[in-house]
Amino acid sequence: MPDFYDEILKYKGFDFSAHLAQVKSADLQEILNKEFLSILDFLSLLSPEAFLFLELLAQKANKLTLAHFGKTISLYIPLYLSNYCDNECAYCGFKHSNTIKRRKLTLEEVEQEAREISRTGIQHILILTGESKLESPLTYIQECLERIKKYFTSIAIEIYPLKEEEYRQLVSSGAEGLTIYQETYDEVLYDKLHLKGPKRNYAFRLGAPERAAQAGMRQVNVGALLGLGDFPRDAFFTALHAKWLQDSYPAVEVGISLPRIQPQAGGFDALRPWSDKEFVQLLIAMRLFLPRVGIAVSTRENNLLRKNIIGLGVTRISAGSRTEVGGYTLEQKTSGQFETADKSSVEEIKRMICEKGYQPVAKDWQRL
């Protein structure tokens, strides 16, 4: 079992609803005045009572974000390499049983897509693939990294979980960041939602961020797919996971993503959809609990919401995203992993950020 599993076990049987129900306004006043919040303070910030304090909490989140990240928003862009997948995740458009067009980019196509993306000026790319070690093995990921690294100063990966040694190989090929979502931290629900394939191994996935940190990955990004598990359980464990990683690997830049489940091929309705209100409350709570953690919000969220949450804690947003394999340049693209809600172009996103009085940052790392 990965080390973080022990942290999860500490909350076995913990009554999240009971904690939320007993939060009083005096507790929130106290939390507002604190510099360092505990994980239970964080949980209190997700209570119904905390919603009454939302404006005050938002102001504090705004101040913290300004102090630590300034008036800037970093941009990144995703590149899907392949949608072959051996897993059967109930909620995913790429799941094995879905009869969608499957495709894996050739190295030439990968380079073609990378070249096109680099025309936007964005220097941060996130490469993604479905989980098929046969179709997209480690060597293929490495070859892709080698091919595209001349176009970008920072490459992150969002692929199936690997062993530490494998992460080390990707770092040496130019990967700098890892994004991996546990989807849900609820082990029982995880088991129900992941019906077939290697992803059924909850523990191996849970330990991926720490293995990547040990392997020298500069950035490690965690998250839960909001809408699968109980509110606020998955939010709680995401925060706990990020905090634990930050404490255990202080040199690693730990980040959080807040993906809310969206419609995709194969039709799956969120088990527990998160409202905008809950989403914003969570964003603010994350910022207060983890003042220096980067928070990413993707094009799963619509443009207006993304615009409104700039200043509340978000530090990175994706722009101009295509979630299909070959989405940027190929005629015969596949269907996407999920439907993007914000279809704005990179230039439109940059303009939106500027209108909010922030600077869109296309480059925030220099590969060494």
Partner 1 sequence: MEDKLVIAGNHIRSRFFLGTGKFSSYKIMQEAILASGAHLVTVALRRVDAQSKSENILDYIPQGSIIMVNTSGARNADEAIRIARIGRTLGCGNWVKIEVIPDNKYLLPDNSQTIKATEALVKEGFIVMPYMSPDLADARRLQDAGAASIMPLGSPIGTNKGLKVLELLKILIEEIKLPVVIDAGIGRPSHCAEAMEIGADAVLVNTAVATARDSVVTARAFALAVEAGRLGYCAGLKPEQERAEASSPLTGFLR
Binding site for partner 1 (CB under 8 A): 66-72, 119, 121, 123, 153, 218, 246-247, 250-254, 292, 354, 357-359, 361-366, 368
With respect to partner 1, which residue has the nearer C-beta, 13 or 357?
A: 357
Between the alpha carbon of residue 61 and those of residues 39, 80, 155, the distances in Å are 16, 33, 28
With respect to partner 1, which residue has the nearer C-beta, 68 or 196?
A: 68
With respect to partner 1, which residue has the nearer C-beta, 68 or 192?
A: 68
Instruction: Report in angstroms how near the CB of residue 18 gets to partner 1 at its nearest.
Output: 31
Rounded Cα gap, residues 214 and 201, in angstroms: 20
With respect to partner 1, which residue has the nearer C-beta, 212 or 261?
A: 212
Instruction: Report in angstroms how near the CB of residue 153 gets to partner 1 at its nearest.
Output: 8
With respect to partner 1, which residue has the nearer C-beta, 62 or 303?
A: 62
Instruction: Report in angstroms how near the CB of residue 263 gets to partner 1 at its nearest.
Output: 34
Instruction: Report in angstroms how near the CB of residue 92 gets to partner 1 at its nearest.
Output: 31
With respect to partner 1, which residue has the nearer C-beta, 63 or 133?
A: 63
With respect to partner 1, which residue has the nearer C-beta, 150 or 196?
A: 150
Instruction: Report in angstroms how near the CB of residue 245 gets to partner 1 at its nearest.
Output: 10
Instruction: Report in angstroms how near the CB of residue 69 gets to partner 1 at its nearest.
Output: 7
Rounded Cα gap, residues 341 and 175, in angstroms: 28
Instruction: Report in angstroms how near the CB of residue 221 gets to partner 1 at its nearest.
Output: 13
